[in-house]
Amino acid sequence: MSKLYVKIRKIWLKNKQLKDQLVADRCYYSYNLN
Say how far apart CA 17 and CA 1 lie, in whole Å. Answer: 24
Considering the entire predicted model, what is its pTM? 0.60
9/22 Cα distance (integer angstroms): 20
pLDDT of residue 33: 76
Q: What is the pLDDT of residues 1-34, one digit of tens each?
A: 699 999 999 999 999 999 999 999 998 888 887 6
Please give the pLDDT value at position 28: 85
Distance CA 10, CA 4 (A): 10
The identity of residue 15, as a single letter, is: N
**Alpha helix (H) residue ranges in the chain:** 2-33
Residue type at 13? L
In this structure, what DSSP letter does residue 34 have? -
